[in-house]
Structure 1
């Protein structure tokens, strides 16, 4: 009787195979569930990394744009100053060129006594004369007639009386300039140029 019960407790081959199959299916479903959960977790983590990367890139983009705008503003503030400095430098160069193009012929100073009816008055006139030429080659022609130019200027100054320098000095200076201009141009050959004006850098009565 006891032997029959022990035999009944033992599983048949078919029953054991069926039980093993059920256990395998149960384990597979559990493994699949675990695998699915793990995949979801990996996706979430991957998305977080992606979000962090995107957030970092966005911050870098904002920082770059901000730096570019600030740099552009600084350059905008500096450029007008630089342009102004360049314009001033160019203007100065143009003025220097204009000055360089002015052809001045400087004469040695004149120093002579002032006469009154042929008599010395004890006063002297000291004059430094500059001639403004119409071109840069006229100075060579003036060199040829320089003694005559100086003689004419000397005679013009010598003919002036003391009253010319005391009563109407400014008018006298202008008259002397015109006389020097006329007398000097008369000595130049036609076609070589002209003396356009006369300047006194020094005009003193002692």
Structure 2
């Protein structure tokens, strides 16, 4: 009996010695765990800093295409038409509406006034804008045609004249011719739309 027990004990010990020893895998050391934690924290902080930098940098706004610089353009003003319309006969209103026209509303001397030869007198008249457009400032009024009876080479520079506005008087020194006859002297407003005139008779 004692031998049997001894045999069993011996077999048990032998079997135990032959069985592989199962060991628990060794875990990371404290130093390794700390290094891993430090690395994770560093990566987290780096990623966060990159995210904040990306958020702080605004998306660049595309620049607007520059508009072309406007070219300054100053047209040459033509206050009066360059073409010469039919004469108004010194103030006869036109039969149709036009942009530029005038009427002589009063004048001296009147038509066919009689003068002695070589007689001094004044020419005086008023004109009205009966066109649809204003007359720009600066148009000249001067002798144009016919018997030149004025004694000085003066001319008037008109102000701005609006439609239906009357301007004057325009006064010129004149002298009747030395010979008898009927004489006409015509003036002209620059632009050729207004021809005031006088007509006198000289008798000895």
TM-score normalised according to structure 2 size: 0.30
Structure ranking higher in helix proportion: 1
Structure ranking higher in strand proportion: 2
